[in-house]
Amino acid sequence: MTQTMFTNELARSAALAALASLPISDPLEPGVASNDPDQLRFDGVAVTARFTGGCSGEVLIAVERALADALQNSPLGALDVSAALTPALTAAAGVAGTVQIGPGQALEPATALAALLGKPGAQAVPLLYQGMPRALVGIVVTAEPTATGPQAPHYPSPEELRATGPSGAPAARTSLRTGLDLLRDVSMEVTAQIGSTRMTISELLSLNEGAVVELDRAAGAPADLLVNGHLIARGEVVVIDENFALRIVEIVADDPVPARS
């Protein structure tokens, strides 16, 4: 297998691995792998991260701008696009072996692609829905593992990019979905909170095994269900198959917006 065939197959494998974790419900199909930015023009937001382990390298995932905008304007507050794409980044990097992925950095796709595809062996694959790109997955792998842990990659400045020529026009948007429809497949951390309290540092330092911390919640009162720090429901703590669970008893509606006089 030639080096070009190997990198093309690696990029395609990374794209297929990322598909299952992308927050896009429409069925996507991988397109043709390429290292030509002119063939990979895309309007959206890209997240890139480095990985280390048995080998080191860099992985990139770009999604359409409508999804990034929906994350920023979520009813639960602004959601981090890097966090939303971390499962897909991890899956894509995993095709290179056992690796540890570093923090992601969100950038314009033209900037991220120029940095990634400028490295030897880098390839990117568009993910298509009805023939139009809805996402991109790119990867580059180096043979030598790095001695230090993964770090956020460095990218050229806009002045440096302009010096190398135009980056290309953005592709047309293909999704007509807006708002919550674009967020239905985004994974989020949900937290159940039975109560809280405030303590001084001296009180915290005096804690030991067997100490009791009193919370601001009466016994039998419902626990709070939080998503992204926002209260969305209350419920009763129950046990199912030796695991704690929360039975929802109240959905907390958003506070109504006061009418302007």
Q: What is the pLDDT of residues 102-116, one digit of tens each?
A: 888 888 889 899 899
**Cβ contacts of residue 171 below 8 Å, gap of 6+?**
41, 42, 43, 132, 133
Edge-first strand order for the sheet with 243-251 is 190-193, 223-227, 230-240, 243-251
The C-alpha torsion from 230 through 231 and 237 to 242, rounded to 10°, is -20
How far apart CA 150 and CA 153 sit, in angstroms, is 9
93 has pLDDT over 60: yes
- Can you tell me the mean pLDDT for 16-38? 88
Task: List, for residues 126-151, the tens digit of each pLDDT value.
Answer: 999 998 999 999 999 875 544 454 55
Q: Cβ atoms within 10 A of the Cβ of 84, count?
A: 23
* Confidence bin at 55 (pLDDT 50/70/90): confident
Q: Does residue 164 or residue 82 have the better pLDDT?
A: 82
Confidence of residue 259 (pLDDT cuts 50, 70, 90): very low
206 or 153, greater pLDDT: 206
How many residues are there in the chain?
A: 261
The pLDDT confidence band at residue 16, using thresholds 50, 70 and 90, is very high
pLDDT in tens, 187-214: 777 888 888 888 888 888 889 998 998 8
Domains of the chain, earliest start first: 3-183 (3.40.1550.10), 190-251 (2.30.330.10)
Cα separation of 157 and 161, whole Å?
Answer: 6
pLDDT tens-digit series, residues 245-257: 988 988 886 644 3
